[in-house]
């Protein structure tokens, strides 16, 4: 502030100036109060700058003013002006980063940034041209943190430069602005922090929601895994297909709270159909053809038509199931393929809550069916192994029987070979025996000849007695040669030679008559018919083979000759006595 | 000389010669048995006339001997048990030879009774004939092997 005037006028004017000073001070103080009041309720920096600029230019009578708030770190800020061309305002707005760089960084100024306010006159601005030409005075200040501000003022209406009072007022106003701005920035920071806090809270809530969802998902997966574990532990020891179906059905229905269910599988290779049903339904009885038709329709109703092994496909159209006697209100049905020849259908009725099946439940069922298919395949493999074992056992039995038969046959062959060898030896012996005579043969021939001869002789009319009849007859009376000789000499007795004529011709007792047995009748008539029956007749003639004398004596007795005697010793005794022969 | 001798031996010992002799001998005995079977009484008288057989055995011999001759003759002809048959025939021939010899030695005036009862009285020729037949029997026994029914059958079995 410049003081002018003479010393004389000093006293007179002293009072006036004092008064003016006081008025100005009052005015300034009022201005400061008003500004402070106006800025107290404002929190937005832009509005605060507007109000500050208005409250600054008005009391000082300045026509052109520019106020700004710069974020030094970001190079951005708020700016407001009065009485400045829009182009100039735009220029300043564009230059905000440069202003921050020029005046509020250590590199841009030799002075350290402090909390104090600096004043730069027009002449100090010429080099940068960051501010338009109307700007005569620039006030710079910094705030706490990264913010700083500036106030650029043009000339007063009075075209007088700013005096010390004006500058003090402005500095005080700037101080008020700084306080209000700090407050506002603090409020804004708090609001920003609050907003961030709210955002964080929101994010936290979202995270909690996600966490809860994850926990629910985890619980659901745990439940699924437990269900699958229970299913596995229940199904793993089962190898019987029917029990497997029944157990799977019960566990699946229990896990989902379903009262009705049905499962059927068809093994085309083994030509077997197996099914199980639970609930108030009649278990359908399907033959191979019916099941084939059911499987085909189920495949046709699938959402995904695939016959790849391990496929589980949900069926869309379910009404055809009733045509096959499946009297269930089927809500959910699946077609599954174990392999090209082993397929099945799994159907479930409504659950207890009568609600639709959730996606998770459908996934659980699909997983259960996938596990179930593994056990089905195992059971079928076991059945196949069982069948193979049975077949093997049967074949073993057949083999054992065959071996037994072969052993028996070998034994028989051995026996036959022995018999053959025995027969060969017999034949050999026989052949050898043929080559030599045998006593047995001779005996057999004799025996045969005897038997035939005897039988023939008995039957033939010309048969002869086996032994001579004379052997069986009573012996005739005999006479010794002496008596016979005497009787012959006396002419009492007749000597008869009974031998054949040939023997008689060879030698006979003198005077003896020859009567051969073979010619008895003729010779008797010729030679003895005249002999008295009481006359003694001495008969002789026998040898080792014949006893002619006995035979002849017998026949003579038959002709009533009572005194027939046989010569003792015969012709030999006669000769021995020396009696005459001829 | 040796060759002709061998040939002679070979011809003499030929099996077909033995076959011919076998059939001949068999036929002779079959023929001889016919009469004896038909007229047993006459044959008994013939046996008795030899004065060798005990009187109680004459009839039995007259019954059995013709059948023995017949069976042996048949066996010889068909080649069955021909060795035994020819042995028996040989034995009977020896018996006949002995009987004839005794009869001739004892000068018993009888026919041999070989074929008929009304034969001429036997002579040494009869004895020679029996010797010839005995020699044939020995030949058959030694060399016979052809057309033997039994051997043929047995050899077939043996060869299987």
Question: How close B2 gets to chain A, by Cα (Å)?
Answer: 30
Smallest CA–CA distance from A501 into chain B, residue = B109
Per the model's pLDDT, the better-predicted residue between B107 and A573 turns out to be A573
pLDDT at B65: 93
Report which secondary-structure segment, H or E, holds A301. Answer: none
Alpha helix (H) ranges present in A65-156? 86-94, 96-103
pLDDT single digits (tens) B38-94: 999 888 988 888 888 998 999 999 999 999 999 999 998 988 888 888 999 999 999
Contact state of B158 with A431 under an 8 Å Cβ cutoff: yes
A267 and A380 Cβ atoms separated by less than 8 Å: yes
A vs B, Cβ pairs < 8 A, gives 127
Q: What is the mean pLDDT of residues B120-146?
A: 86
Q: How far is B6 from chain A (nearest CA, A)?
A: 25
Rounded CA separation A76/A264 (Å): 76
What is the structure's pLDDT at A123? 64
| B87 with A442: Cβ contact below 8 A | yes
Measured between CB atoms, which of B56, B67, B87 is closest to A437? B87
Give the pair of three-digit tokens for residue A476: 């005739």
| Long-range pairs for A118-124: beta carbons < 8 A, 24 or more residues apart | A119/A167, A119/A171
The set of residues, in sequence order, having a beta carbon less than 8 Å from that of A312 and lying 6+ positions away, is: A334, A335, A336, A337, A366, A369, A370, A373
Q: Provide the pLDDT for residue A110.
A: 41
Q: Which of A440, A453, A500, A505 best probes binding to B when mutated, by most B CB atoms within 10 angstroms?
A: A453
Q: Tell me the average pLDDT of chain B.
A: 84
Instruction: Enumerate residues 6+ apart whose C-beta is below 8 A from B51.
Output: A543, A544, A545, A546, B103, B106, B108
Identify the segments of chain A with pLDDT beneath 50: 1-2, 107-115
- For B67, nearest residue in chain A (alpha carbons): A449
Write down the pLDDT at residue B28. 92
pLDDT reported for residue A94: 83
Nearest CA in chain A to B43: A464
Tokens found for residue A366: 């699909």
- Which pLDDT value is given to residue A1? 44
Sheet (strand A478-479) strand order: A478-479, A564-567, A537-540, A494-497, A513-514
* pLDDT computed for residue A228 by the predictor: 84
pLDDT for B154 beyond 80: no
Radius of gyration of chain A (CA): 84
Q: How close, in Å, is residue A466 to chain B by CA atoms? A: 5
pLDDT at res. A397: 93
Assigned token pair, A448: 């045969």
Mutate to test the interface with A, among B72, B154, B159 (most CBs of A within 10 A): B154
Pairwise CB contact (< 8 Å): B40 & A462: yes
Q: What is the pLDDT at residue B66?
A: 94
8 Å CB contact of A545 and B55: yes
Q: Is the CB of B71 less than 8 angstroms away from the CB of A471?
A: no
Q: Which ipTM was obtained for this model?
A: 0.89
pLDDT band at residue B151, thresholds of 50, 70 and 90? low
Res. B156 pLDDT band, cuts 50 70 90: low
- Is 60 exceeded by the pLDDT of residue B158? no
The residues on A that touch B, with CB distances below 8 Å, are: 423-424, 427-428, 430-431, 434-438, 441-442, 445-446, 448-450, 452-454, 456-457, 460, 462-468, 470-471, 500, 502-503, 505-506, 518, 542-547
Shortest alpha-carbon distance between residue A481 and chain B (Å)? 23
Q: Using the beta-carbon criterion (under 8 Å), do A456 and B37 form an inter-chain contact?
A: yes
Compute the nearest-CA separation of A402 from chain B (Å): 30
Nearest-Cα distance to chain A for B139, in Å, is 14
pLDDT at B23: 92
Report the predicted TM-score, pTM, of the whole model to 2 decimal places: 0.46
Say what the pLDDT of residue A203 is: 93
Q: What is the pLDDT of residues A332-345, one digit of tens each?
A: 899 999 888 889 98
């Amino acid at each position: 502030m410049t003081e002018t005037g003479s010393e004389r006028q000093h006293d007179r004017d002293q009072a006036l100036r004092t008064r003016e000073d006081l008025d100005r001070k009052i005015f300034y103080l009022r201005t400061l109060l008003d500004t402070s009041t106006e800025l107290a309720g404002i929190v937005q920096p832009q509005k605060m700058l507007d109000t500050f600029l208005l409250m600054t230019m008005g009391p000082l009578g300045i026509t052109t003013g520019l106020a700004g708030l710069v974020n030094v770190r970001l190079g951005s800020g708020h700016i407001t002006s009065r009485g400045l061309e829009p182009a100039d305002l735009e220029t300043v707005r564009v230059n905000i980063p440069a202003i921050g760089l020029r005046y509020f960084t250590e590199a841009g100024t030799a002075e350290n940034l402090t909390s104090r306010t600096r004043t730069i006159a027009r002449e100090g601005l010429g080099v940068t041209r960051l501010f338009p030409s109307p700007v005569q005075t620039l006030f710079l200040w910094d705030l706490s943190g990264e913010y700083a501000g500036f106030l650029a003022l043009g000339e007063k209406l009075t075209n007088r430069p700013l005096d010390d009072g004006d500058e003090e007022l402005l500095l005080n106003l700037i101080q008020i602005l700084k306080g209000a701005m700090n407050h506002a920035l603090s409020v804004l920071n708090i609001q920003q922090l609050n907003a961030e806090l709210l955002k964080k809270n929101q994010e936290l809530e979202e995270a909690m929601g996600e966490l809860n969802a994850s926990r629910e998902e985890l619980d659901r997966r745990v439940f699924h895994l437990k269900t699958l574990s229970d299913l596995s532990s229940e199904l793993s020891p089962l190898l019987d297909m029917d029990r497997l179906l029944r157990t799977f059905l019960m566990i699946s229905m229990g896990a989902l709270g379903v009262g009705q269910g049905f499962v059927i599988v068809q093994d085309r290779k083994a030509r077997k159909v197996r099914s199980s049903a639970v609930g108030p339904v009649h278990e359908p009885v399907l033959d191979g053809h019916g099941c084939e038709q059911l499987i085909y329709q189920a495949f046709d109703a699938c959402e995904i038509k695939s016959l790849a092994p391990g496929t589980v496909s949900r069926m869309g159209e379910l009404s055809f199931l009733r045509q096959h006697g499946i009297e269930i209100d089927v809500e959910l049905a699946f077609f599954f393929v174990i392999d090209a020849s082993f397929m099945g259908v799994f159907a479930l009725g409504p659950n207890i809550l009568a609600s639709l099946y959730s996606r998770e439940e459908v996934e659980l069922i699909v997983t259960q069916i996938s596990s179930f298919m593994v056990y089905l395949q195992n059971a079928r493999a076991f059945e196949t192994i069982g069948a193979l074992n049975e077949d093997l056992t049967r074949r073993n039995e057949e083999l054992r029987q065959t071996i037994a038969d072969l052993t028996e046959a070998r034994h028989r062959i051995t026996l036959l070979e022995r018999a053959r060898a025995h027969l060969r030896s017999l034949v050999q012996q026989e052949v050898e025996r043929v080559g030599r005579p045998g006593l047995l043969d001779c005996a057999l021939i004799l025996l045969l000849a005897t038997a035939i001869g005897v039988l023939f002789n008995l039957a033939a009319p010309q048969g002869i007695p086996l032994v001579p009849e004379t052997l069986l007859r009573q012996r005739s009376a005999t006479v010794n040669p002496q008596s016979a000789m005497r009787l012959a000499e006396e002419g009492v007795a007749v000597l008869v030679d009974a031998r054949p004529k040939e023997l008689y011709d060879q030698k006979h007792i003198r005077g003896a008559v020859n009567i051969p047995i073979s010619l008895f009748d003729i010779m008797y008539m010729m030679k003895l018919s005249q002999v008295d029956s009481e006359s003694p007749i001495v008969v002789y003639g026998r040898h080792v083979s014949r006893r002619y004398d006995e035979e002849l004596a017998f026949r003579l007795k038959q002709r009533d000759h009572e005194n027939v005697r046989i010569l003792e010793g015969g012709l030999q005794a006669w000769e021995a006595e020396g009696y005459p022969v001829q | 000389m040796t060759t002709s001798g061998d040939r002679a031996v070979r011809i003499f010992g030929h099996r077909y010669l033995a076959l011919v002799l076998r059939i001949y001998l068999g036929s002779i005995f079959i023929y001889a048995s016919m009469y004896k079977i038909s007229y047993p009484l006459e044959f008994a008288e013939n046996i008795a006339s030899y004065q060798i057989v005990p009187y109680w055995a004459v009839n039995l011999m007259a019954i059995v001997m013709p059948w023995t001759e017949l069976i042996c003759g048949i066996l010889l002809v068909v080649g069955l048990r021909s060795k035994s048959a020819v042995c028996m025939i040989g034995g009977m021939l020896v018996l006949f030879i002995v009987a004839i010899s005794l009869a001739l030695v004892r000068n018993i005036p009888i026919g041999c009774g070989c074929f008929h009862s009304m034969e001429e009285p036997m002579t040494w020729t009869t004895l020679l004939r029996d010797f010839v037949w005995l020699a044939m029997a020995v030949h058959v026994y030694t060399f016979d092997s052809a057309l033997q029914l039994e051997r043929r059958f047995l050899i077939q079995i043996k060869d299987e």
